[in-house]
Amino acid sequence: MAEYENAIFTNMCMIYSGDRILVQNRVSKNWPGITFPGGKVERGESFVESVKREVLEETGLIVNSVELCGTKQFQDENDARYVVLFYKTDAFEGELASSDEGEVFWIDKSELGEFRLAHDFQEMFEVFDSEILSEFYYYKEEEEFKLRLL
């Protein structure tokens, strides 16, 4: 007999142009620091449409041809599986505009270390930027959560 679990789906999108990436300085008290735009998938919404909507709301940009490039997953405090779908694209249009989620701006990939990054963003960026990694996973071992990049 199969055991089912509740799941929460969210997304993030790395918008890039050559070696430059669009980052967001998130103002959230739960997850502050540099990250990529994204958010929750709404009920009845497709994954692709949700990432396009979130990017538009948080950056003012319309993204096209988003590519699913990885996932992050863990069990949340209510034991639901929390899944973050990682997308990337270099196809965008519009005028860049920050939102109340945080200021958005372009940086070179090499400059990431010069900013305060959101918790575990550096490890997530490895998945976004890799041709061989596709999963960021927290697992529990002996009452401690550990990180695995696959």
One-letter amino acid for residue 138 of the chain: Y
Mean local confidence (pLDDT), 19-40: 93
Q: Is residue 2 part of a domain?
A: no
Q: Is residue 76 part of a domain?
A: yes
Could you tell me where the DSSP H helices lie in the chain? 47-59, 121-129
**Cα distances (angstroms) measured from residue 62 to each of 9, 13, 29, 58:** 21, 12, 27, 11
Q: Is residue 11 part of a domain?
A: yes
Residues in CB range of 66: below 8 A, 6 or more apart: 13, 48, 51, 52, 87, 88, 89
CB count in 10 Å sphere of residue 80: 13
Classify residue 95 by burial, with Cβ atoms within 10 Å: 0-12, 13-18, 19+.
Answer: exposed
Encoding tokens for residue 110? Answer: 């090499």
Whether 146 shows a pLDDT value over 80: the answer reads no
Please give the tally of structural domains in the chain. Answer: 1
Kindly indicate the confidence band of residue 142, based on its pLDDT and cuts at 50, 70 and 90: low
Could you tell me where the DSSP H helices lie in 23-94? 47-59
Q: Is residue 58 part of a domain?
A: yes
Q: Can you give the residue range of the structural domain that contains 107? A: 7-149
Q: What is the DSSP letter of 110?
A: G
| Percent of the chain whose pLDDT exceeds 70 | 94
- Whole-model pTM: value is 0.91
Mean local confidence (pLDDT), 143-149: 71
Q: Is residue 133 part of a domain?
A: yes
Q: What is the pLDDT of residue 52?
A: 98
CATH number, domain containing residue 145: 3.90.79.10
Q: Is residue 1 part of a domain?
A: no
